[in-house]
A and B are shown apart, each in its own frame.
Chain A
Amino acid sequence: MRSVFRKLALAGIVLCTLTGCWDRTEINELAIVGLVGSEENADTGNTIVYYQIVNPAAFAHDSGRGGTSPVYTYKIEGKSRGEMGQKSAESLPRRLFTDHYQTHIVTEKLASKGLRPFLNFYERQYNRRSSLLLFVTDSKLSDVLMTYTPLEQLPGRTLRSLVYNTNRATGRISMKSRVKDLVDNMESSTYTVLPIISLRDDKPILTTKRFETIEANRSNLILSGAAVFKQDRMIGKIGLRENGYYNLLKGETNSFFQSIKLDSLSIDLSANKIKVQQSLTQTDGVPVWNVRITANLAIHNNEQTEKLSWENLSRITEQFNQEVSETAGGLFQKSLKKEWDLFGLADKIKYKRGGAWKAIQGNKDAWKETKLKLTVTSSVNDVGEIIDPYKGGLSNGK
């Protein structure tokens, strides 16, 4: 009996020394950050950070308070980046909790100036994951951060869904749009492409009245393009459509959308199960980048009046292969002309072995002369419910 008592007492003493007490966090004391935006004050050079804090009260079902804002945006301005988190104590009634936010927005201006300080600051923090999505915005940052998004009330989650959905639907945004993908290419010649987010109208609606209107499009956030980064610096933009081809060539997408014209009738195809093989070879001292793409196609829309047949399908795939090759080739040429090493060719050349590559490696600009040899092969394996389309007036030859 006595030994049991002694053991219990010992356990009690040990329990008192458990370390949890120091680092305990009460959820009621936290300001949970859903979305962060950062920019630089053009006049003073100060850093401005917007923290969008999730308001749990708005999600409580029985609170009975309609019209509560689901998020609140705090603006904090300070001399340096590290000061922000600490300075938030001056305006936030709760402790800033940044562990779980998954979306970050920077302005185009800041991105063009270089994100190195931001990335280093970010990677230094243990409690922040670099797997969060990074966006560039060409709209006014304060407006973007004060936009209500209908349907999905947390803007941070909305942005994430936009990327996921676009990636799944057309492959025009890569899933590799995270902070860590930018960091990965910090010390190489390979470029990074990140999505651009824009505000549709010039002014956001600042109250929750926004949720009462049916016009979902009004002053909402949309993906509008892609920003090209060389190491940590944004050097240009490309359109979403072009970015689709870019992702296709890099093999970073699993779906792809292409609308082709066959006898001036349009056919909409989406590709899935995309496999990309890349290799770099050289012929006569010129590097050649061989890309082989194979894909399965699904027909979404077909304006042809003839019944799908073996022959017709092979014409469709042929046309698809050709149009994809041409457009992707166009993007490749454009990037070389702009001197953008979008595909990391310089690095690929640098790491080649063998005497034949020595001469090419000696020439620093060799990658600009790289030829693209693109082979696309595809097969249709989803034609939809209709094989023989309704012909209407066309059926009797009129």
Chain B
Amino acid sequence: MENNSMTVWQFFVLTLSFLAGTSFFFLPGGLIAVAKQDAWMVPLWAGAAGVMAALIWLKLARQHPGLSIIQICTKVAGKPIGGLFAIMYISYFIQLSVFITRNVGDFMKQTLMPITPLTMFHVMLLVISAYAVVKGIDTIARSSELLFIIMAITFVLIFCMALVAWDWSRFQGSFRMNVWETLKETRYIFGFPFLEALVFLMLFPFVQSKVKRSFILAIVVATLLLSVTTFFTIGVLGVPRASHDTYPLFVIAQEVHVGTFFEHLESTIALILLAAIFIKLSIAYYCSVLGLCQLFRISSRLWVTLALILLISGLSLGYDNVVENIEFSQRYDFEYTLLYSVFIPCLLLFVTWIRKKVKRREGTAS
């Protein structure tokens, strides 16, 4: 289709913001509720699993250079079955966009603007993302490059200011978790955010070189960031409060006091979240549009993108409140993502391998 491409650094930033961007906000509370003082270890093993999954994807992408997952599906499994897989992937991307959109709506409505209707946030964000999507991956990559710096600086700033409330005694009683139990209870962290990175199966063709290195590195860095954020949340907010709050990081920012001058930093943290969600949504949205375009061989993204706004904003109202959203991601997200991130790619790899074998045998036979 288009001739857009990304530099290695842009790809790295994109992956990192996709992985760490929203999860550092939504994850720590749930993790701390389950694993208490040891919650910071959970992202580490989840990240390790994420790297393993990434290796599968990279292997699959290497087998079919220059093709996205949708194209791989149709090429490997043929038109009918491959098409079905492709549609499943597209629906996954759309569902992901819906989920992300709803996250921002819930957050903004509950914390900062309680009277504004939910749809308003959704549509506003979708319109901006749609603009980015129409402009192409190049635009998304470049804007994320810029936003990433702003996000990082703001985050570090808040981080430093909140360190005033740091207390080592909050770690009293660490290293006594039941690993198996914790693993089971926090399995959703594999799905969100690590396995969600399967959307990059759509974006691998745009990167010119060193895909593997920058992708794996981004996952590792995201893992560390997530772990550090959880560690920080425990130290600053303490286990009892962090495990009861819906958005612990928001509470931390809210309670930052540096003198009587630096107070009420919650809007700042909301800014970071908005930027992160914009990047994440743009990627998921772009992937769903690109998938549709590739599957139906359409050359312009404009109309498909616009048509999707209506669908995504409608679907994102499909939760009544944040509890439903959290419940879903804790109970089903892992299994749901596993299907797309591990099961189907493995299947595709297997079929590719068989086809190659058959071809080789035919080659030697003739």
Would A and B touch once assembled, by the CB under 8 A criterion? Answer: yes
List A residues at the B interface (Cβ < 8 Å).
14, 17, 19, 22-23, 123, 126, 129-131, 180, 183-188, 347-348, 350-351
- How far apart sit A293 and B115, CA to CA, in the bound complex (Å)? 53
- Count, A-B residue pairs, CB within 8 A: 51
Q: Does B81 lie at the interface of the complex (its beta carbon under 8 Å from any beta carbon of A)? A: no
Pick the contact of A19: B113, B238, B255 (CB < 8 A). Answer: B113
**Which one of A19, A129, A348, A350 contacts B121 once the chains associate, using CB atoms below 8 Å?**
A19
Query: A129-B254, A130-B255 are contacts. A23–B240 as well, Cβ < 8 Å?
Result: no
Chain B hits for A351, CB < 8 A: 172-173
Give 27 CB contacts A-B under 8 Å. Answer: A17-B120, A17-B123, A17-B124, A19-B113, A19-B116, A19-B121, A19-B124, A22-B115, A22-B116, A23-B116, A123-B245, A126-B110, A129-B254, A129-B255, A130-B241, A180-B241, A180-B255, A183-B240, A183-B241, A184-B238, A184-B241, A185-B240, A187-B240, A188-B240, A347-B172, A347-B173, A348-B172
Residues of A within 8 Å of B117, CB to CB, are 22
CA distance A186 to B355 in the complex (A): 62
Is B314 among interface residues, defined by CB-CB distance under 8 A?
no
Q: Is the CB of B124 within 8 A of A130?
A: no
Neighbouring A residues of B112 by C-beta, 8 Å: 23
- CB < 8 Å: which of A22, A131, A185, A187 contacts B255? A131
Q: Within the complex, what minimum Cβ distance (angstroms) separates A118 from chain B?
A: 15
B359 within 8 A of partner (CB): no
| Alpha-carbon separation in the docked complex, A60 to B250 (Å) | 35
B251: chain A residues within 8 A (beta carbon): 130
- CB-CB under 8 A for A22 and B254, given A123-B245, A187-B240: no
Q: Residue on B with the closest CB to A22?
A: B116
Distance from A174 Cβ to chain B, minimum over Cβ atoms (Å): 13
B114 at the interface (CB under 8 A from A): yes
> Chain B at the A interface: mostly helix, strand, loop or mixed?
helix
Within 8 A of A (CB), among B232-282: 238, 240-241, 244-245, 250-251, 254-255, 257
Give which listed residue, A22, A126, A187, contacts B111 with CB less than 8 A.
Answer: A126
Q: A129-B254, A180-B255 are in contact. Are A123 and B244 (CB under 8 A)?
A: yes
Whole-angstrom CA separation of A334 from B140 in the bound complex: 66
Distance of A104 from chain B, by nearest CB (Å):
15
Known: A23-B112, A348-B172. 16 other contacts (CB 8 A): A19-B120, A22-B113, A22-B115, A22-B116, A23-B114, A123-B241, A123-B245, A129-B254, A130-B241, A131-B255, A183-B240, A183-B241, A184-B238, A188-B240, A350-B173, A351-B173
Cα-based distance from A129 to B257 in the complex (angstroms): 11
CB distance from A126 to the nearest CB of B (A): 5
Q: Residue on A with the closest CB to B238? A: A184
Chain A residues within 8 Å of B120, by CB: 17, 19, 22
Q: Tell me which residues across on chain B come within 8 A of A185, comparing CB atoms.
A: 240
Q: How far is the CB of B236 from chain A (nearest CB, A)?
A: 11
Across-interface contacts of A131 in B (CB, < 8 A):
254-255, 257
Separation of A256 and B189 alpha carbons in the complex (Å): 48
Residue of A19, A123, A180, A187 ringed by the most chain B CB atoms within 10 A: A19
> A130 to chain B: which residues have CB within 8 Å?
241, 251, 255
Q: Which residue of A lies closest to B117 (CB)?
A: A22
Contacts of A123 in B (CB 8 A): 241, 244-245
Expressed in whole angstroms, the minimum distance between the Cβ of B262 and any Cβ of chain A is 13
A187–B33 Cα distance when bound, in Å, is 13
| B residues 36-65 in Cβ contact with A at 8 Å | none
Chain A hits for B173, CB < 8 A: 347, 350-351
Rounded to whole angstroms, the CA-CA distance of A107 and B257 in the bound complex is 27
State how many angstroms separate the Cβ of B25 from the closest Cβ of chain A. 15
The smallest C-beta distance from B75 to any residue of chain A, in angstroms, reads 41
From residue B306, how far is it (CB to closest CB) to chain A in Å? Answer: 14
Q: Report Cα–Cα, A129/B111, bound state, in Å.
A: 12
Whole-angstrom distance between the alpha carbons of A184 and B127 in the complex?
42
CB distance from A21 to the nearest CB of B (A): 8
Interchain nearest-CB distance for B158 vs A (Å): 15
In the complex, residue of chain A having the shortest beta-carbon distance to the beta carbon of B246: A126
Cα separation A66 to B38 with both chains bound (whole Å): 60
Given the complex of chains A and B, what is the CA–CA distance between A123 and B112 in angstroms?
16
Q: Which residues of chain A come closer than 8 Å to B115, judged between CB atoms?
A: 22-23
A-B pairs with lowest CB-CB distance, top 3 = A22-B116, A351-B173, A23-B113
How far is A348 from B169 in the complex, measured between Cα atoms in Å?
Answer: 10
Interface residues of B in 86-129 (CB under 8 A from A): 110-117, 120-121, 123-124, 127
Given the known interface contacts A17-B120, A131-B257, the answer about A184 and B113 at a Cβ–Cβ threshold of 8 Å is no
Q: How far is the CA of A329 from the CA of B173 in the complex (A)?
A: 27
Docked Cα-Cα span, A188 to B37, in Å, equals 14
Check B172 against A184 for contact (C-beta < 8 Å): no
A86 CB, min distance to chain B CBs, angstroms: 14
Question: How far apart sit A183 and B239, CA to CA, in the bound complex (Å)?
Answer: 11
Against A, the Cβ 8 Å flags (1 = close, 0 = not) of B181-197 are 00000000000000000
Which B residues touch A17, using CB under 8 A? 120, 123-124
Kindly list chain A residues whose C-beta atoms are within 8 Å of the C-beta of B113: 19, 22-23
Give Cα A234–Cα B181 distance, bound, in whole angstroms: 36
